[in-house]
Amino acid sequence: MNRDRKDRDTILDSVADGVFTVDSEWKISSFNRAAERITGVPREEAIGRRCSSVFRSSVCESGCVLRQTMDTGRQIINRTVNIIAADGRTVPISISTALLKDDDGKIIGGVETFRDLTAVEELRKELEGRYTFQDILSRSHRMREIFDIVPEVAASESTVLIEGESGTGKELLARAIHNLSHRAEGPLVAVNCGALPDTLLESELFGHKAGAFTDAKKDKPGRFALAEGGTIFLDEIGDVTPAMQVRLLRVLQEKTYELLGGTAPVSADVRIITATNRDLEDLVAEGEFRQDLYYRINVVKLSLPPLRERKEDIPLLVDHFIARFNGLQGKSIGGMSDEALACLMAHDYPGNVRELENIIEHSFVLCRGPVIEPGHLPEPFRSAADASAPPRGGATLEEMERVFILAALRRNDWSRGAAAKELGIHRSTLRRKMKTLGIEPPHDGRAHR
């Protein structure tokens, strides 16, 4: 080994990230110690081989990151991909690339640095797992209170009413209750009661006999029959007409129903979970919803808070949706910039979690780099991020800080000491930030603990 190459390898071995270089024929010409550790391939085996045979990445053939740099001359920074190590493990890494040029400026190869993200990925999964309940993600104290009682609710046979705005995850919560119940082996059948007129909804729920109406050529089982032994989820129950309310009341009271056009009652071994985005008590007061039916379905009520009241969940949900769309679309987007996240934190989300998911999907269409920036967000957010117009909600970074501090205080029952410990700051720092951000404690003495 000549002196220059030995000195070069000594320098590269002192770098914590993996580093390798390739020549114009894509053969590896240098391979540092960190690259050996991450890939499990000794330097002696890597030198002289084509990089694709060493890294065995999913992008080596279809979208080689280093080839993009060699073809365009543009560096790529922190692109996330997976490689296959020598022992068969899939290793997530973050890649950056650059060109290699000789003294005359001629391109003679390329250099790639890469960082092992295994620990980061494990931490992400640990955090997501800590805040995941039956596919529902939240670190909100209000959601955690719901999670705490769902196993007990699931163990009973009581009818459940789930309240919440559209997009808050009512069906996910219904599925969690079903999955934790003794009916989990049975079917979960969902029906959107607000999407069908009475005649169709009656046939859909209870089924019909042949000849019950013009197009009824043969008997057809309804959703209650399909849910036998399991759970039926009646979404948007508040949109059901008074006539249909009477039919549903009978099912709840007598555990039987009749097929449309039938005469004999059919027993229903089905648990009923209902949901609504309307205030049923107001509908009862206005005479639009039967009081006796309301009492029947309101044995256990679970109220899902809107996303604007649990903004501490936004970063967690953003990471979840990014990971999901990476898998669906075959991309390797590593995350979201602080500026883009600040724009999302300032929004009130009338469409709740579903709206946030749509925003991330929109961003995936436009994002070609490793990080989602404000320019990849839908138009209202791009305008808000423009330097000439301050983001909605004023100082968005302050709002983000306020959201996290408020959430920590609520999770710890407004104990400053416990909240400061969770946030990793001194209690006096927390007190100062609360004053600066205008956070007022409740007037019952709890915040002085």
Fold topology of 141-304: Rossmann fold (3.40.50)
Note the pLDDT of residue 8: 67
Please compute, for residue 428, the number of CA atoms within 13 A of its CA located in the half-sphere on the CB side. 0
Note the pLDDT of residue 59: 61
Q: Give the C-alpha separation, 267 to 228, whole Å.
A: 9
Q: Give the C-alpha separation, 398 to 406, whole Å.
A: 12
Which regions of the chain carry the CATH code 3.40.50.300? Answer: 141-304
Note the pLDDT of residue 323: 85
CB atoms closer than 10 angstroms to residue 108: 14
For 158-174, the pLDDT digits (tens) are 999 999 999 999 999 99
CATH of domain 3-116: 3.30.450.20
Low-confidence residues of the chain: pLDDT under 50: 1, 387-396, 446
Note the pLDDT of residue 395: 36
Note the pLDDT of residue 287: 94
For 262-303, the pLDDT digits (tens) are 678 889 999 999 999 999 999 999 999 999 999 999 999 999
Q: Give the C-alpha separation, 253 to 16, whole Å.
A: 69
Q: Give the H or E element holding residue 81.
A: strand 76-84
Note the pLDDT of residue 89: 82
Q: Give the C-alpha separation, 57 to 54, whole Å.
A: 9
Give, in order, the Cα–Cα distances in Å from 348 to each of 65, 308, 317, 356: 38, 5, 15, 10
Which regions of the chain carry the CATH code 3.30.450.20? Answer: 3-116
